Amino acid sequence: MSFNSLTFVCLFCFVMAVQYSRLPWNTKKATLLICSYLFYAAWNPPFVLLLWLSTGIDWYMARFIATTTRQSVRRICLAISLAVNLGLLGFFKYSGFALQSFCDALQLVGFSFQPLELDIVLPVGISFYTFQTLSYTLDIYRGTANPHKSFLDFALYVTFFPQLVAGPIVRSTDFLPQCEIPRARDTAKIGWGLNLVLIGLFEKTILADGLCAPVVEKAYGVEAIDLVGAWTGTLAFAGQIFFDFNGYSLTAIGISLCLGFTIPDNFRFPYAAIGFSDFWRRWHISLSSWLRDYLYIALGGNRGGTSRTFINLMLTMLLGGLWHGASWSFVIWGAMHGTFLGIERWLSSTSLYRWPIWQARSGRMLLGLLTFVLVCFTWVFFRATSLSQAISLTLTMLGLTHSDTSVFDSYTSLVIAALIGGLLLGHALCRRQSLEAIADRMGPILWGALCLLMILLLLVCRGDERAFIYFQF
């Protein structure tokens, strides 16, 4: 059930009616929980059992951790939580990849092994809700949170439908306190929430699906492509993945606001980033902060010297790449980000970092443009259908290989260049602002006209109904 479907609109209207009715607060939460399960079951009903299993295991393991003083028992409970959650994630998401990698390794040493084909369906959103429910157990184990009193609230935290299948990954300390007090109707919040839903659907339907997706599919659907085509397709994907994922996040945040809940931002104008550290403070913030708090810091962070810090960065980003998908292309994507982060950290300790030019506007613009170009090279490995295609496209974009295969006319390339140029300019102008502050500065008349234009375009240019890109993770 996608946000841009009529079925979801009916579900949302029903939940809104219940949420602001005179029913008891626990009844409202129970209804919201049931609707969240129905929302998830629309993809594959049996996979609701996995949600129940993760919810039950982490609820009871966290309580055992909090009520015992024996460190050995605490560690066993944490190990059970990790084993169940990561075991399910590993089986459904990585078993096929691991088996194929094992077969490939055997072939390298002269053995041939053809296993039975694994026909495993990936539960939608399993990577997101696994990290979300794990954070609850880890926080209680580390003593940074206390076990919640209500199982209903915890189940709703794990299953809250606006952000269930593609984030943002919400922390229990942010969400559970909101479940304790009935959500009063706030007209201003509901109004702004509907604005965010409109922007999110516009980014998804018009910009990601309408403008960028056809170009990306054409560029990445051929064996060889010329230099202009490779850059056109990759720039289009840089736009598509931002508009698609940011569109989902804004819609999820907007729906949550309409229901009275606040969940954190997931993007802060990431293509205005100056350096990769800044990029990851702006892109998929809920995942990057999760990896930082529960993996990078747990590995030692930057406390072990330059070499150890680089290893920790690399391990964190390798696992971050693998979290996105079970293929070597995603591993290389993570390795590239880890390498760029390591180089950036090393450069920050040299005299080059302190040159006055980097503090000037021209220097910062140059660094921002360099960051975006390098991010585009990483997107090639994220989007390519195979590792060989990713390498071929990268070499073409660098001008190291040449092909006469031209799949785009000059008009298409100019449209994509203009779109991405406008996106970069918009992010650069807004890098220190929030979307709400921008709306306030525009004023009600200009902002209202912009919203009306988006509504008209959505009505006129419906296009194909495509799933959000991050549903596959």
How far apart are the C-alpha atoms of 417 and 4, rounded to whole Å?
Answer: 27
Extract the tokens encoding 193. 């929430």
Contacts of 191 (CB under 8 A, 6+ apart): none
How far apart are the C-alpha atoms of 470 and 323, rounded to whole Å?
Answer: 11
Contacts of 363 (CB under 8 A, 6+ apart): 355, 357
Extract the tokens encoding 415. 């449209």
How far apart are the C-alpha atoms of 238 and 242, rounded to whole Å?
Answer: 6
Helix (H, G, I), strand (E, B) or coil at 76: helix
Q: Catalytic site residue 324? A: yes
Extract the tokens encoding 461. 């240019």
Q: Where are the alpha helices (DSSP H) in 325-360?
A: 328-347
Extract the tokens encoding 64. 């055992």
Helix (H, G, I), strand (E, B) or coil at 105: helix
Q: Directed axis angle between helix 227-258 and helix 187-202, to 10°?
A: 160
Contacts of 442 (CB under 8 A, 6+ apart): 450
Extract the tokens encoding 148. 């919640």
Question: Under a CB-based contact definition with an 8 Å cutoff, are residues 133 and 158 in contact?
Answer: yes
Extract the tokens encoding 69. 């003083």
Element (DSSP H or E) covering residue 58: helix 48-67
Contacts of 375 (CB under 8 A, 6+ apart): 238, 271, 273, 279
Which residue in the list 324, 337, 402, 427 is annotated as catalytic?
Answer: 324
- 407: nearest Cα among 155, 222, 277, 191: 222
How far apart are the C-alpha atoms of 210 and 204, rounded to whole Å?
Answer: 8
Catalytic residues: 324
